[in-house]
Amino acid sequence: MCGIAGYWARGRADKEIAAKMAAAMPHRGPDNQGVWLDDESGVALAHRRLSILDVSEHGNQPMPSHTGRFWISFNGEIYNFQQVKKDLGDGVHYKSGSDTEVMLAAFERWGVIRATERFNGMFAFAVWDREQRILYLARDRFGEKPVYYQLSSDTLLFGSELKALRAHPAFDSTKDPMALAEYFRNAYIPAPLSIYKNTRKLPVASLLVVRSTPNGLTADVVPYWSAEKTAAEGQQNRFRGTYEDAANELETLLKGIVQSRMVSDVPLGAFLSGGVDSSMVVAMMQAASTQPVKTFTIGFHDQDFNEAGYAKDVAKHLGTDHTELYVGEKELLGVVPMLSHMYDEPFADSSQIPTYLVSKVARSRVTVSLSGDAGDEFFAGYTRYWDTLAKWARLQRSPKLAREAAIMATKVWAGTLSATGLEKLGRQLPTPVDKALNPSKIRHKGEVWAIDSFDRLYLELTTFWQGNPSPVIGFDALDDIPWKPLKYRPELDLRFMMLADTMTYLPDDILVKVDRATMAVSLESRAPFLDPDLFRFVWTLPEEWLTRNNKGKLILRDVLFRYVPRQLIERPKCGFAVPAARWLRQELRDWAEDLLSERSLKSSGMLNIPLIRTRWQEHLDERVDWSAGLWATLMFQDWLRT
């Protein structure tokens, strides 16, 4: 795990500037920093190294291919590099045992794009082809590793984090209102957008191919794999065999995948929450290891958020070397001032706080930690899937005229009914709630009646900022923000949600959260579920093998129960949340009041101040829980100030 950075300028490259770009993110690679220049072309590659495979100096980067044609700055791990090495044959001499050297040999043999298609791993890299004078930036299939870039006619900047780009004197820091509006809808900024108007995130499973022309630098985004296409092919080529056959194949597949993620020349362990996904990963690790696997759990004194006891029971049953650390609100709140620097652009998934703390605990004993990320997206694990299906069924049963009348009524009643009347009305809507409501909430619930497609319903119900208007000036409604539907629409609504989350929420929220939190403490995180062969296999299975009685992960659970007793796993899902609603009214109130003051809100020139101030007061008065939207506002405001 490392950090990459660099640039291509029409002129001579400057080693000092490239070094500053790498030095802006020392946490991504504390073991070594390197810079290489192609002076004639104006190309600079920089690298920060966290040594994992072949920790000797032979693994340092930027690294050349054996002919010197290709130079690479690489972040990540290629899990099948030994197979790629075997496919290349005996004609290549290697100086190290690193996967980086094998990648370079593959570029020499097959070219950059064809070689990348063969790689199974998590990666982000920059490769300069000195012969063709082409610069390639690449990102892995599911988006575990980040790549930011900014392109003008005469300069390309790139890096693992925005910190690296900002270290270059040519960086354009103009903010993007559209990206900010998307942020308030999602709690993250989706690729290819970034908070900066002229900076982009490279999409997953893609290469950016950059060339120099008489008119300046030009770039093309070239996909090399497609989750949508793979999912469609899986649905067309269903698994042939019994449920037991599929469970056996899944077990064999997971064993091989987990073992490939355990290759390391430094200490390795795993995060363990005691849930299905992390328990499955740890069970496979322990089955493949002759020594107790090191596992790590964060516990909370507030039992509404605590799963540490479950993790401890699973660890005891599997015989792992378990580390459990209980943290209080002091430790949790202490992370808040670090978040803006850690995430580099507005990001409002509050589980970023415990994720950082468990990463810090793990880093005290290991350099690599495996996780259960992507189990929910691949195996239908989110409870919101069943909530959305139930709401859609309710909408489908309602006559059109009745829905139109309800929409009109909510608009009128929201401005005239008492709080008690509003609460009674709210329980009759497609999205009933038990908490106290205000007019804005009622109007939002009523607007759900107008939705006429399942896709739009799922978008609405996963929107972070509740109700219109948008908090960003220039966007009167959240519908002003374009919604990009999938090109491939599965026949089953559940499958649509799973695929949509795999392509959006997973890379832009979950994996961003984990990458920044682990890298902040120089810990490499690996997610075994993020394997293209596993993804392809799951999409060949019938839906009824994934779900039963509004509960997902059926086949995954049944495989896990071969290793862990059912009673240790079967319980309500807790999650990795924090009590943000209470914090904002109590422990964080002064911090929040400062950032949400009229003076502070004016600083960006982008926010709807009266709307935000009204919601802040309603939250303080405990009339409405606006904590989700307010947390997003605070993360933006704190980022702006930082």
What is the CA angle 638-641-642, rounded to 5? 85
Per the structure, the count of domains in the chain is: 4
What is the pLDDT, as a whole number, of residue 573?
A: 66
Distances in whole angstroms, Cα of residue 455 to Cα of each of 483, 494, 502: 10, 11, 15
What is the pLDDT, as a whole number, of residue 409?
A: 63
Task: Kindly state whether residues 19 and 148 are assigned to the same domain.
Answer: yes
More confident residue, 253 or 574: 253
Q: What is the CATH number of the domain that holds 312?
A: 3.40.50.620
Asked if residue 518 is part of any domain, the answer here is yes
Task: Kindly state whether residues 215 and 246 are assigned to the same domain.
Answer: no
What DSSP character marks residue 509? Answer: I
What is the pLDDT, as a whole number, of residue 268?
A: 96
Least confident of 162-166, 294-298, 424-428: 424-428
Residues 469-497 have a mean pLDDT of: 88
Reported as a single tens digit per residue, the pLDDT across 352-384 is 999 999 999 999 999 999 999 999 999 999 999
| C-alpha torsion angle, residues 203, 207, 212, 217 (rounded to 10) | 0
Residues 587-598 have a mean pLDDT of: 96
What is the pLDDT, as a whole number, of residue 408?
A: 66
Distances in whole angstroms, Cα of residue 626 to Cα of each of 326, 437, 596: 28, 11, 13
Would you say 59 and 50 are in contact if contact means Cβ atoms under 8 Å apart? no
Asked if residue 380 is part of any domain, the answer here is no
pTM as predicted:
0.93
What is the pLDDT, as a whole number, of residue 445?
A: 62
Asked if residue 574 is part of any domain, the answer here is no
What is the pLDDT, as a whole number, of residue 412?
A: 56
Task: Kindly state whether residues 104 and 31 are assigned to the same domain.
Answer: yes
Catalytic site residue 574? no
Asked if residue 495 is part of any domain, the answer here is no
Chain mean pLDDT for the chain: 91
Task: Kindly state whether residues 518 and 402 are assigned to the same domain.
Answer: no
Task: Kindly state whether residues 170 and 281 are assigned to the same domain.
Answer: no
Asked if residue 133 is part of any domain, the answer here is yes
What is the CA angle 440-443-445, rounded to 5? 110
Least confident of 71-80, 225-234, 443-452, 555-564: 443-452
Residues 68-83 have a mean pLDDT of: 97
Catalytic residue among 1, 2, 270, 555: 2
More confident residue, 447 or 332: 332
Task: Kindly state whether residues 324 and 360 are assigned to the same domain.
Answer: yes
Asked if residue 184 is part of any domain, the answer here is yes
Ramachandran area for residue 115 (φ above 0: left; ψ -120 to 50: alpha; else beta): alpha
Reported as a single tens digit per residue, the pLDDT across 277-331 is 999 999 999 999 999 999 999 988 777 667 789 999 999 999 999 999 999 889 9
* Crossing angle of helices 383-397 and 454-461, rounded to 10°: 130
Whole-number percent of the chain with pLDDT over 70: 91
Reported as a single tens digit per residue, the pLDDT across 565-582 is 999 998 776 666 788 999
Whole-number percent of the chain with pLDDT over 90: 77
Contacts of 202 (CB under 8 A, 6+ apart): 124, 137, 138, 139, 147, 148, 149, 191, 192, 208, 221
Asked if residue 617 is part of any domain, the answer here is yes
Rounded Cα distance between 233 and 56, Å, is 43
Residues 508-524 have a mean pLDDT of: 98
Contacts of 442 (CB under 8 A, 6+ apart): 410, 413, 414, 417, 422, 425, 426, 429
Task: Kindly state whether residues 57 and 171 are assigned to the same domain.
Answer: yes
- Highest-scoring range by mean pLDDT, 5-14, 56-65, 129-138: 129-138
> Among the three residues 521, 548, 568, which one is the final residue of a domain in this structure?
568
What is the pLDDT, as a whole number, of residue 417?
A: 46
200's enclosing H/E stretch is strand 199-201
Task: Kindly state whether residues 220 and 273 are assigned to the same domain.
Answer: no
Task: Kindly state whether residues 365 and 421 are assigned to the same domain.
Answer: no
Rounded Cα distance between 119 and 101, Å, is 13
- Band (pLDDT 50/70/90 cuts) for residue 436 is very low
Q: With 80 as the cut, is the pLDDT of residue 424 above it?
A: no
- Band (pLDDT 50/70/90 cuts) for residue 434 is very low
> Among the three residues 174, 195, 224, which one is the final residue of a domain in this structure?
224
Task: Kindly state whether residues 164 and 245 are assigned to the same domain.
Answer: no
> Among the three residues 169, 204, 224, which one is the final residue of a domain in this structure?
224
Q: With 70 as the cut, is the pLDDT of residue 558 above it?
A: yes
Per the structure, the complete domain to which residue 293 belongs is given by 228-374+504-568
Q: With 60 as the cut, is the pLDDT of residue 23 above it?
A: yes
Task: Kindly state whether residues 14 and 160 are assigned to the same domain.
Answer: yes
Rounded Cα distance between 479 and 458, Å, is 14
Q: With 80 as the cut, is the pLDDT of residue 556 above it?
A: yes
Task: Kindly state whether residues 363 and 308 are assigned to the same domain.
Answer: yes
What is the pLDDT, as a whole number, of residue 51?
A: 81
What is the pLDDT, as a whole number, of residue 419?
A: 46
